[in-house]
Amino acid sequence: MKVSRLLPLLWSAVLALAMPAWSWAQAQPQAGAKPATARATFAGGCFWCMEEVYEKVPGVIAAVSGYMGGHVKNPTYEQVSTAGTGHAEVVQVEYDPSKVSYARLLEVFWRNIDPTQKNAQFCDYGSQYRSGIFYHDEEQKRLAESSRAALQKSKPFKGEIVTEITKSSQFYPAEGYHQDYYLKNPARYKFYKSGCGRDARLKQLWG
């Protein structure tokens, strides 16, 4: 076989050997590179309402209703609603740190809960409705504690702040019919939210 015919074959063999290594190298994150997205988890009573709030924040990619902080694996809504599993209704937020900061998400959180209600939020009572911040790393913990301390000094309302700050644990997404409830069932959602007195109490707390 002539050399001219061997060259394309040799070149193909070299490329075949090089491609896997190149692809693997390209897939590795660069040292010191920040993640494209991050997670934050908040408990603010009814997860339908908190999901609506966070999905309207610029920089938030998704907000998923679910359960966190309990001792039962794969809990159902029926189980959590009895307050027997230890879980809180939460919303887990996926966001772009280059567009919205965790500090900003904390501001949104505080302005949409009643920090003075223990094991309850608005018209909903039980430990599953407790307010809380579930931090995912030490920086989130530091920022959460700092924001709570700052609020304690400047709060425009009376009453002790009882909102918990807890390390995140296993997150269980809620059943499909709970996701985007405010969009799927707008009339029922507005009736619930108004009847629960959420907006009225928030206005009373924050002005």
* Catalytic center residues: 46
DSSP 148-168: HHHHHHH-SS-S----EEEE-
CB burial of residue 112 (10 Å; 0-12, 13-18, 19+): buried
**67 close to 90: Cβ distance less than 8 angstroms:** yes
Rounded (5°) CA angle 111-117-108: 15
Q: How far is CA 189 from CA 29, 91, 150, 181, 184, in A?
A: 42, 17, 33, 7, 9
Which residues neighbour 7 within 8 Å (Cβ) at sequence distance 6 or greater?
A: none
Query: For 116, what's the count of Cα atoms within 13 Å in the CB-facing half-sphere?
Result: 12
Strand partners, 164: 132
Rounded Cα–Cα distance for residues 141 and 125 (Å): 26
